[in-house]
Chain A
């Protein structure tokens, strides 16, 4: 795991933008060998896009030979709705750079067959030989893309029901009306992200601190899907100072020392390998068989009743339990760290324990 800490949001965003630009440049993409980039939406990425656009305007970088795949999109929201992720991407990035429209891939939340849409999205990624760099944000509950807490760590692109917290949080974009917030989204899975050659996560602000702590210092856990990156070969997390508030001082110093010792993350990425662009059939259909190895003799023990049945999910057997997101279980969700500290159960090393030991 590489972790880069910057003093504020702007510096962190600047770092990521520079990083992406340097990765694209050293890749030397061509029309036949484009750089495949995974992209998120959200407030932290917005600043990164702004920075990328500025560099593009200054002539530092071209996106002509970049192919993009977006992480997620709401289901049932018109494509040109101002809150759709199509609109977000167009407004903040695509309309300002020279990326050819045909290089852009965003899940179609209005597809007649959503499962097929997800499968074809995975197939398209496979056809490009996989994603070179997946940029992502992280939710206060540690989710990446719409992989809410409890999502399978081997999930792929699929329909997800949004956690109630997420709907509440997003209602501010829909005039405060809960009924207007889409209930479902299409999202890449954790496995989709994990298969990218490199994953870069931006985490800024104090409200992300607990997620960073759980993702970095905790164990791999589906309740904090960010933690799955511990198993990735080339993850990079870029934080601002506030997002490190819940980390151990030791952890922070360790990562800072790594950076200070001159091992710049920009030189530590995965080797830029060019995989042959062979067509790999969508893994979604395949996993259907893998997931059902249970012998017929023990069906009552399979906790099938935990499944949420959405009618739209015809072909995928991957539906997962979507509980309330983690933050709803914390006493106070605004600065969740404080309350959990008071409760004591989240404290990693309380001062009291050290006093007694002396």
Chain B
């Protein structure tokens, strides 16, 4: 039989596991093919090709979920996507370490996010951050689905910790092209997947259709837009809000601002990112947003390179420094929150505890929903047959301190196991 010659089992069947269907978990087997890296149309393979699994993994009732997707992540493992290295090789090497480290946390695909920077920085780093595509190998770990450029066309008053000196206001679409580099935002090999920009700055709102035509997601964020300006942006093609509530005009009852997009029925409600790290947002704020528009909520980490490092003061971009104390990161000399150091699965756990969302709903916010935003339905964020075999095995246990907690036991990328926490699965016990 083909595939028997390789050391890896070709067809793996997961059994005795719970998977997401809609908003609930159901018991169902999943078959994957390590050769194609896809989830098998198992019934068809069984009857048509007479395929039976080479390996059966009994998950003992654990959850089998699609690999997590993070659409806003600034760096990890001490590596910052926004800081160019002396050579592209050195930068790519750092990226490889991030990808491997990230995969161990259950994130199998993501949008590497670059904060507001000078054009030279974009020209240098973006060519490395484009979609990994089919050349991505399982052992490389997490894969990029394209870069997320957060800025520099943002509101100087809602800059968060983005350096004001590098912020820009567009006049012509040419300015946007000039800033990121033509090859990065147009054509088949473009590297940018998502842009966060303030629609009210310069003529940005007029450029949304051009970006959308390139297949780039326009996300409203770091913006002082009024409700009307935000509505106008969605009319032009904006489909996302970057870290809702943070770095935007607060909700005001006479003008609900960007947050108001979640309550209106005039236009399709946009997707919105939420940082559920317990620091950026009050749990109730998250619950209000979720109740208003459950189908659009996407959990993001907005994590940066200090994630996982000890407390202390660390150098950041543009010569500034960041103070890390526990999970809290602030810009030195201010109270401004400087990104997060939570992992995505921690955000899922927080969100599940705070929102009363079911386990499946909480996981959808980091799988199916971001896949829908990115136009990758049926490819990522799902266990439907034909999708990429990016999977994670989760244990759902009651933590005495924090309550129900999901932990990542195994990570599979394109049909190959790349991480195992050591909790051995029982093999071949069909």
In the complex, residue of chain A having the shortest beta-carbon distance to the beta carbon of B42: A95
The segment from B46-54, B109-117, B202-210, B324-332 that touches chain A is B46-54
B350 within 8 A of A: no
Given the complex of chains A and B, what is the CA–CA distance between A57 and B430 in angstroms?
6
B44 within 8 A of A: yes
Given the complex of chains A and B, what is the CA–CA distance between A56 and B429 in angstroms?
10
Using known A-B contacts A57-B430, A95-B29, determine if residue A101 contacts B43 with beta carbons closer than 8 Å.
no
A101 touches B430 (CB 8 A): no
In the complex, residue of chain A having the shortest beta-carbon distance to the beta carbon of B43: A90
B99 within 8 A of A: no
Given the complex of chains A and B, what is the CA–CA distance between A104 and B52 in angstroms?
12
A98 within 8 A of B: yes
Beta-carbon contacts of B52-92 to A below 8 Å, as 1s and 0s?
A: 10000000000000000000000000000000000000000
**Which residues of A are found within 8 Å of B42, using beta-carbon distances?**
95
A96 within 8 A of B: yes
B44 touches A80 (CB 8 A): yes
Residue with the highest number of chain B CB atoms closer than 10 Å, among A80, A86, A95: A95
Given the complex of chains A and B, what is the CA–CA distance between A300 and B429 in angstroms?
66
Task: Give chain B nearest CB distance to A188 CB in angstroms.
Answer: 19
**Which residues of A are found within 8 Å of B46, using beta-carbon distances?**
90, 94-95, 101
Given the complex of chains A and B, what is the CA–CA distance between A80 and B44 in angstroms?
7
B15 touches A101 (CB 8 A): no
Using known A-B contacts A95-B42, A96-B15, determine if residue A101 contacts B47 with beta carbons closer than 8 Å.
yes
Given the complex of chains A and B, what is the CA–CA distance between A94 and B42 in angstroms?
11
B29 touches A101 (CB 8 A): no
**Which residues of A are found within 8 Å of B47, using beta-carbon distances?**
79, 86, 90, 101, 104, 106
Given the complex of chains A and B, what is the CA–CA distance between A102 and B45 in angstroms?
12
**Which residues of B are found within 8 Å of A80, using beta-carbon distances?**
41, 43-44
Q: Which of A333-356 contact B (CB under 8 A)?
A: none
Number of B residues whose C-beta is below 8 Å from A? Answer: 13
Beta-carbon contacts of B392-430 to A below 8 Å, as 1s and 0s?
A: 000000000000000000000000000000000000011
**Which residues of B are found within 8 Å of A252, using beta-carbon distances?**
none
B52 touches A101 (CB 8 A): yes
Task: Give chain A nearest CB distance to B228 CB in angstroms.
Answer: 44
In the complex, residue of chain B having the shortest beta-carbon distance to the beta carbon of A94: B46
A100 within 8 A of B: yes
Task: Give chain A nearest CB distance to B61 CB in angstroms.
Answer: 13
In the complex, residue of chain B having the shortest beta-carbon distance to the beta carbon of A95: B29
A287 within 8 A of B: no
A47 within 8 A of B: no
Number of A residues whose C-beta is below 8 Å from B? Answer: 18
B44 touches A101 (CB 8 A): no
**Which residues of B are found within 8 Å of A91, using beta-carbon distances?**
43
Residue with the highest number of chain A CB atoms closer than 10 Å, among B15, B47, B51: B47
A97 touches B430 (CB 8 A): yes
Beta-carbon contacts of A74-94 to B below 8 Å, as 1s and 0s?
A: 000001100000110011001
**Which residues of B are found within 8 Å of A95, using beta-carbon distances?**
29, 42-43, 46
**Which residues of B are found within 8 Å of A102, using beta-carbon distances?**
50
**Which residues of B are found within 8 Å of A100, using beta-carbon distances?**
50, 52
In the complex, residue of chain A having the shortest beta-carbon distance to the beta carbon of B51: A101
Task: Give chain B nearest CB distance to A186 CB in angstroms.
Answer: 16
Given the complex of chains A and B, what is the CA–CA distance between A98 and B50 in angstroms?
12
In the complex, residue of chain A having the shortest beta-carbon distance to the beta carbon of B31: A95
In the complex, residue of chain A having the shortest beta-carbon distance to the beta carbon of B16: A57
Task: Give chain A nearest CB distance to B1 CB in angstroms.
Answer: 12
**Which residues of B are found within 8 Å of A106, using beta-carbon distances?**
47
Q: Which of B17-58 contact A (CB under 8 A)?
A: 29, 41-44, 46-47, 50-52
Task: Give chain B nearest CB distance to A147 CB in angstroms.
Answer: 25
In the complex, residue of chain A having the shortest beta-carbon distance to the beta carbon of B385: A80
Task: Give chain A nearest CB distance to B108 CB in angstroms.
Answer: 26
In the complex, residue of chain A having the shortest beta-carbon distance to the beta carbon of B50: A101
Beta-carbon contacts of A1-13 to B below 8 Å, as 1s and 0s?
A: 0000000000000
A98 touches B430 (CB 8 A): yes
**Which residues of A are found within 8 Å of B15, using beta-carbon distances?**
96
Task: Give chain B nearest CB distance to A63 CB in angstroms.
Answer: 11
**Which residues of B are found within 8 Å of A94, using beta-carbon distances?**
46
In the complex, residue of chain B having the shortest beta-carbon distance to the beta carbon of A98: B430
Q: Which of A271-297 contact B (CB under 8 A)?
A: none
In the complex, residue of chain B having the shortest beta-carbon distance to the beta carbon of A79: B47
Given the complex of chains A and B, what is the CA–CA distance between A101 and B44 in angstroms?
11
Task: Give chain A nearest CB distance to B15 CB in angstroms.
Answer: 7
Task: Give chain A nearest CB distance to B30 CB in angstroms.
Answer: 11
Given the complex of chains A and B, what is the CA–CA distance between A104 and B51 in angstroms?
12
In the complex, residue of chain B having the shortest beta-carbon distance to the beta carbon of A58: B429
Residue with the highest number of chain A CB atoms closer than 10 Å, among B15, B29, B44, B430: B430
Given the complex of chains A and B, what is the CA–CA distance between A94 and B430 in angstroms?
12
Task: Give chain B nearest CB distance to A257 CB in angstroms.
Answer: 41
**Which residues of B are found within 8 Å of A79, using beta-carbon distances?**
44, 47
A87 touches B43 (CB 8 A): yes
Task: Give chain A nearest CB distance to B426 CB in angstroms.
Answer: 11
Task: Give chain A nearest CB distance to B31 CB in angstroms.
Answer: 9
Given the complex of chains A and B, what is the CA–CA distance between A86 and B42 in angstroms?
12
A56 touches B43 (CB 8 A): no
**Which residues of B are found within 8 Å of A57, using beta-carbon distances?**
429-430
**Which residues of B are found within 8 Å of A87, using beta-carbon distances?**
43
In the complex, residue of chain B having the shortest beta-carbon distance to the beta carbon of A82: B43
B43 touches A86 (CB 8 A): yes
Given the complex of chains A and B, what is the CA–CA distance between A97 and B41 in angstroms?
18
**Which residues of A are found within 8 Å of B44, using beta-carbon distances?**
79-80
**Which residues of B are found within 8 Å of A56, using beta-carbon distances?**
430
**Which residues of A are found within 8 Å of B51, using beta-carbon distances?**
101
In the complex, residue of chain B having the shortest beta-carbon distance to the beta carbon of A102: B50
Question: What 14 new A-B contacts, CB under 8 Å, besides A90-B46, A97-B430, A101-B47?
Answer: A57-B429, A80-B43, A86-B43, A86-B47, A90-B43, A91-B43, A95-B29, A96-B15, A96-B29, A96-B430, A98-B430, A101-B51, A101-B52, A104-B47
A-B contacts, 19 listed (Cβ < 8 Å): A57-B430, A79-B44, A79-B47, A80-B41, A80-B43, A86-B47, A90-B46, A91-B43, A95-B29, A95-B42, A96-B15, A96-B430, A98-B430, A100-B52, A101-B46, A101-B50, A101-B51, A102-B50, A106-B47
Give the 4 A-B residue pairs with the shortest CB-CB distance, closest first: A101-B50, A90-B43, A102-B50, A101-B46
